[in-house]
Structure 1
């Protein structure tokens, strides 16, 4: 990790003058006691990473510094002159220019050259870079002879820019002083707002992070100044009903109690600003304003556990920790307030694959918020979850990570991926890829499953796109032998019993030994045969019978096509009308229902109105448009009651979908009987 400028300067002061006190540092850098404590903690984290002793602070406010710190760091202190300290980078000049424009009027090039102490040409170049910087938020820098330089655009976006620039400037040397000078902020204004923020924290029984507390006073002062000048946010951005009942709204009233003429939309904005501030600690975790948030986080964790093959310990503690972060993130994401500088947060190489699995698990949160989770927010979630797993001694780095590479289209690839994940539940499956995607794949993995030969140094296992049961048995034995050096059934019962004894009390050791032996040494082939006897032999011809086939020339819409296709199953009682409604409501969320040219398999969940496993087929001479990307002639409604009973028929259907000749023959058939003959070919 790297120290920020403020922490570096405090460390330099302590090394050059160990007798300095907390009060001296607070006064010198205009810090609160907590802000100084935050910097000391960061310094100690950095020292710990450097294998050096931490700096201790006495009750009297003095510091105790181990001699090893002086020995190791004294020689590293640069002998920089004051002039060197004032040299600004291009980015820093851009931030200062933006701050000047946001907080001052009638600015000319002369103001910039004087403040930045650079030439006119340098300022003109910096203004171009400043334009690139603000354009990320759809803003524009314009010059007017009468008004000077202005930043134009939606006020909501200008506020986001303001918060971002304050954060950037505070990380510079003497950043707080620079902001006050550029924006004409007086010290007593900062003190007043800090006092009000302290009252807010007490009222809310929370503590904002020190970084947010450092930014808040400058942001609030400059926002209030913009309001006075008539720059008001658009009221349509913020939902009054959602924010007005929050404790943060009461806190806003506390901050503004003696400030007149603040419009309601601005009170809403400041409430939103408080809601989006990261929280370090909270006495009461409540979902008063965000129903179902904790449940969505729990669902996200369960999806993650399934994908990462990991069991999270002390789950409730992690849930509460995530809730502290996600509650403000909810408002940041919903109202597009994720800060530009947050995007710079990146995942370490150690957590790349973990981050990928977290991204794949955020769907419950996205459904609750109604927005895609930004990269910066998922990155922070990855760090929280990754840190928790490290604490419990778990890591996906120790697990076998697999990918599936299939050249036969999204639907076939997805089915293959699902089957292999069930076949190897101990492996972490990262992705299903096309061959072109595989060539540029960046994540780390151990093995590849593919129906085609690939150029790779990793372990490659050739597997059919549609795995028959016998091939599954062979493939599992082959893979386990090559990856772990044993076939799964080769397990020593006595060794297993001894392991169990170390962690649990065994009531009936003889019976446990017998049951373990039966399970481990079961005949996989016999088990398959038994499963085949237990499950109905539902082939494609048994589900799509002539009575379940409908012929039409054309239909007016996709919805109509679904209802016509499903009608035979509704009339026979295999499905209920609500199952058809569920298919229609879900169709735009599942492009994978298209399994080949001109053919789709719409379906919903078993609990949405399926009474018995069944299928029906609608043939259209003129295709119906599906999601603007496909023209569909063959619609097969699938009603499944579990994960097994329809799979045989589905596999046969997938093979039929892969045949251009037979698929086109069905599209141009004149009768149900002709179609059924083709279906029979694939039902052996």
Structure 2
């Protein structure tokens, strides 16, 4: 007996969700309860034939199968579907390249047709994509009658392609079975590498992520095959001095001694794989390198605080955690081993959805200390990872409450991704007490009485409530996830209200005008009233994305003076509009001025614009910014300063876009000149608008 397509999909949903309500399935497939139960009946007949336990419906209307049956069915479905799965054009090009790298026998067009189950014309089209993709690595796809298809290029670059493809293909549906079918890699080969990794964990006191424990055996086994076939990297491609004094290299030497003679550069390459792998614990740099890394990261954070006009409350802890992320990243960056995997694609989506460009652009201006250390520019994808890391720090939870459900985050990915996921969920669900994020292997050894529910990107064998989430949760998924979780845990039915529409109705009956900041505050209070509080991160737009320089600096907040007697007088003058309109208290102004001295050059942007500011808890009532333009510059920090802007930050995020625009203005000498030469406030506003 065979299942129809809808029945297969329903069975897969039940397996993925552990338990799924009939109403959810009805809505998803747009079918009636009778049609749904007819499919369930067909599935149960099918399961009986397979000698598996059937689907059960409980009193809550949820459908589920036992853990034992779920594991059996999951394995069986993957094996069957891997043979019937039709790869996309991109996936076919990746699989063709993978075949050419990993198969030593002569490969013809027919081999690709047979494996991918498409026509010759389709394969010919795919080969054009393969050739184009290989150009990025300065490699070429060649064909001769004697050798068939092969890749001509530097072996180091070919290894990079292989490592990337292993990660990509293993993330394709049923990719594991495709890799094993194509390469015919044996369980013995994979187990040998797994034994190596476990020995490294034990002897070096480190812990690989579940993801790397899954992918590294395939990567190393296939690299070793290339070594056996005589495909060696050149010694010039490796920098031996940095790696030779690490204990990873010493351990790799011991491991590789059991497989015969291997060239020195290959031993170093294996060491490099260990050093650049994502770890749950720590990777190793020399003591001297570690000191330099700590100092570089600290300088980056201090620069970011100055440029963003914020101050992290637990800066030392942030530096410590960022250093831990940068240890394996150091080798990825230095040897250009950064990979483009599905997970990193999710990070790119998050960068767009969460509007993190303000943090990203400010942070990018601060990376020179780390770039100096690694002697190259930080790759784009690593910059995005670092941005996500710093952004997650903005979202840190404050004081914990007791008697909350205990939530566990189980993530098979690296420490950086798991912490981003953990921080995002803590913000999204303030109702829960989140325990630390752990790996799948740690979860399997954990006492289930210590937690109440689980968030994870993978299915787990558990009787507790589990919610499947992506490692990086996009904005569009957050509301859906929150609604689903609260209904499941508390039985709360959430109703969505359009706050903008409610505000439009209210605004019709307000006689006097409402300022930009008042409008934002009203909308925020309406949102809190209409629903259980959801962090601002769940909204479709962040508040900060709408706040430009001219939203904060109106004409009434601008002053023009021919000259002032000192920088202190300039600060007192620029603060006055913020005091007059109630943005800050007199204590705020006093504390801000007192924290600077004649050498406070760090708050001067571009050598021309000084931005004095304090913390929100210094006495800020409402976000605001004021501006003073001085025709004759005043000496401050040893520089001639024409412009003072005082910032009153309401929090650590909402002013970031305006600060980014101000940074662009400060870097433009022509813009500064136009400000100084402006005849009135309207001209100044027009100048500011050009940087928005």
Give 2:142's aligned residue: 142
Give 2:548's aligned residue: 447
- Per the TM alignment, residue 185 of structure 1 is displaced from its structure 2 partner at its CA by 0.5
Alignment of 1:207-246 (within 5 A): 207-246=207-246
- Measured in 1, the distance between the counterparts of 2:182 and 2:547 equals 54
Give 1:264's aligned residue: 264
Give 1:379's aligned residue: 384
Contact 2:246 2:284 in 1 (8 A): no
Give 2:574's aligned residue: 476
Contact 1:101 1:151 in 2 (8 A): yes
Structure-2 change in CA distance of 1:466 and 1:393 (3 Å)? farther
Give 1:71's aligned residue: 62
Alignment of 1:532-611 (within 5 A): none
- Normalised TM-score (structure 1): 0.52
Contact 2:282 2:327 in 1 (8 A): no
Alignment of 1:298-313 (within 5 A): 298-313=298-313
Alignment of 1:290-369 (within 5 A): 290-341=290-341, 344=345, 345-346=347-348, 347=351, 348-369=353-374
3-state SS, counterpart of residue 331 of structure 2: helix
- Measured in 2, the distance between the counterparts of 1:191 and 1:458 equals 62
3-state SS, counterpart of residue 62 of structure 2: helix
3-state SS, counterpart of residue 257 of structure 1: helix
3-state SS, counterpart of residue 173 of structure 1: coil
- Measured in 1, the distance between the counterparts of 2:11 and 2:562 equals 64
- Measured in 2, the distance between the counterparts of 1:252 and 1:363 equals 33
- Per the TM alignment, residue 204 of structure 1 is displaced from its structure 2 partner at its CA by 1.7
Give 1:486's aligned residue: 582
Q: CA RMSD in A?
A: 4.6
Query: 1:108-131: per-residue Cα shift (whole Å, max 9, x none)?
Result: 000000111110001111111122
Contact 1:477 1:487 in 2 (8 A): no
Contact 2:82 2:175 in 1 (8 A): no
Contact 1:246 1:289 in 2 (8 A): no
Name the count of aligned residue pairs: 411
Contact 1:140 1:153 in 2 (8 A): yes
Structure-2 change in CA distance of 1:101 and 1:298 (3 Å)? same
- Per the TM alignment, residue 172 of structure 1 is displaced from its structure 2 partner at its CA by 1.8
Structure-2 change in CA distance of 1:648 and 1:276 (3 Å)? closer
Contact 1:90 1:126 in 2 (8 A): yes
Where relative contact order (Cα < 8 A, 6+ residues apart) is larger, the structure is 2
Contact 2:360 2:383 in 1 (8 A): yes
Contact 2:166 2:215 in 1 (8 A): yes
Give 2:690's aligned residue: none
Structure-2 change in CA distance of 1:284 and 1:370 (3 Å)? closer
Question: Which blocks of at least 5 consecutive residues in structure 2 are unaligned?
Answer: 1-9, 21-55, 66-72, 400-422, 428-543, 600-605, 609-634, 645-668, 675-692
- Measured in 1, the distance between the counterparts of 2:119 and 2:212 equals 35
Contact 2:169 2:175 in 1 (8 A): yes
1:647 aligns with 2:652: no
Contact 2:19 2:62 in 1 (8 A): no
Give 1:86's aligned residue: 85
Query: 1:612-666: per-residue Cα shift (whole Å, max 9, x none)?
Result: xxxxxxxxxxxxxxxxxxxxxxxxxxxxxx9444527999xx99x989xxxxxxx
1:125 aligns with 2:140: no
3-state SS, counterpart of residue 86 of structure 2: coil
3-state SS, counterpart of residue 150 of structure 1: strand
Structure-2 change in CA distance of 1:650 and 1:301 (3 Å)? closer
- Measured in 1, the distance between the counterparts of 2:156 and 2:149 equals 19
3-state SS, counterpart of residue 549 of structure 2: strand
Query: 1:430-486: per-residue Cα shift (whole Å, max 9, x none)?
Result: xxxxxxxxxxxxx9362326xxxxxxx78556979998448956973576369xx32
Give 1:637's aligned residue: none
Contact 2:344 2:381 in 1 (8 A): yes
Contact 1:99 1:165 in 2 (8 A): yes
Give 1:405's aligned residue: none
- Measured in 2, the distance between the counterparts of 1:246 and 1:102 equals 30
Contact 1:238 1:265 in 2 (8 A): yes
Structure-2 change in CA distance of 1:141 and 1:644 (3 Å)? same
Query: 1:49-100: per-residue Cα shift (whole Å, max 9, x none)?
Result: xxxxxxxxxxxxxxxx9979983899xx999995995122112211211111
- Measured in 1, the distance between the counterparts of 2:592 and 2:18 equals 72
Contact 1:209 1:278 in 2 (8 A): yes
1:247 aligns with 2:232: no
- Measured in 2, the distance between the counterparts of 1:318 and 1:67 equals 47
Contact 1:285 1:320 in 2 (8 A): no
- Measured in 2, the distance between the counterparts of 1:302 and 1:658 equals 29
- Measured in 1, the distance between the counterparts of 2:592 and 2:220 equals 70
Give 2:497's aligned residue: none
Give 1:627's aligned residue: none
3-state SS, counterpart of residue 265 of structure 2: helix
3-state SS, counterpart of residue 311 of structure 1: coil
Structure-2 change in CA distance of 1:186 and 1:647 (3 Å)? same
